[in-house]
Amino acid sequence: DAGVIQSPRHEVTEMGQEVTLRCKPISGHDYLFWYRQTMMRGLELLIYFNNNVPIDDSGMPEDRFSAKMPNASFSTLKIQPSEPRDSAVYFCASSGTDNEQFFGPGTRLTVL
Amino acid sequence: DAKTTQPPSMDCAEGRAANLPCNHSTISGNEYVYWYRQIHSQGPQYIIHGLKNNETNEMASLIITEDRKSSTLILPHATLRDTAVYYCIVRVANSGYALNFGKGTSLLVTP
């Protein structure tokens, strides 16, 4: 298995633009998590899904952020409009029944 | 989830054992101790987890005190590639629970 796949690996955009981050979880995993990492706040959970259904989105900072999981093999995290304070590394992780979470390589987002 | 306390940084000589402590004095009976690490610019990586018995795998050993209020992650023969931030996380063992990362311990393995 290729592991959790995220794209793009790097994204540079201007304030106000829409940003879409993508994640392909490990096949067979029924949990998918989106985390964000900044120097100030460390690693924090944004939202997670179980069987494609959002379970807890209390970590989503505000309405500018939205996440979807249209099927078991794909999820998106969208920021619209983006702001400089959204600059961070965004990680996607998935897990199955073994409790271990597998993380992707992350997307480094820079909003100018 | 129970709160954990870890030293912010540690050093270890290459080839020696690295012993990373973690305090979790408010741990509940159904909560496990998990360890993850994050090598620079990579996603976090699972290392090991345990409930009350000591655990060992190909990466590390986990020693949990009898009262479960603290634990130690042991890397038996540290290499330069073990330089990373190590996170001790306490949570119920269920895939539906997210990981609550704290600040972790930054381990520097030196030649």
Instruction: Give B50-100 pLDDT, tens digit per residue.
Output: 999 899 999 999 999 999 999 999 999 999 999 999 999 998 877 677 888
- Cβ neighbours around B60 below 10 Å, total: 19
Contact A99 B94 (CB under 8 A): yes
Percentage of chain B beyond pLDDT 70 is: 95
**Omega before B76 within 30 of 0, i.e. cis:** no
- How far is C-alpha A60 from the geometric centre of its chain's CA atoms? 10
**Shortest alpha-carbon distance between residue B4 and chain A (Å):** 15
Interface test with A, best of B88, B95, B101, B105 (most A CBs within 10 A): B95
**What b-and-e string marks burial along A30-66, b requiring 16 or more CB atoms within 10 Å of the CB?**
bbbbbbbbeeeeebebbbbbeeeebebeebbeeeebe
- B94 to chain A, any CB pair closer than 8 A? The answer is yes
B96 interfacial to chain A (CB closer than 8 Å): yes
Do B44 and B101 contact (CB within 8 A), yes or no?
Answer: yes
**Residue B2's pLDDT band (cuts 50, 70, 90):** low
| Residue B43, min C-alpha distance to chain A (Å) | 5
In the block, residue with structure tokens 């590394």: A89
Q: What is the pLDDT of residues B5-59, one digit of tens each?
A: 999 999 999 999 999 999 999 999 889 999 999 999 899 999 999 999 899 999 9
pLDDT tens digits, one per residue of A38-89: 999 999 999 999 999 999 999 998 899 999 999 999 999 999 999 999 999 9
Q: How far is CA A55 from CA A27, A67, A68, in A?
A: 20, 11, 12
Contacts of A100 in chain B (CB under 8 A): 46, 49
B46 has a chain A CB within 8 A of its CB: yes
Q: Is the CB of A103 less than 8 angstroms away from the CB of B98?
A: no
User: Which amino acid would we find at residue B17?
Assistant: A
Q: Are B101 and A103 inside 8 Å of each other by CB?
A: no
Is the Cβ pair A103, B43 closer than 8 Å?
A: yes
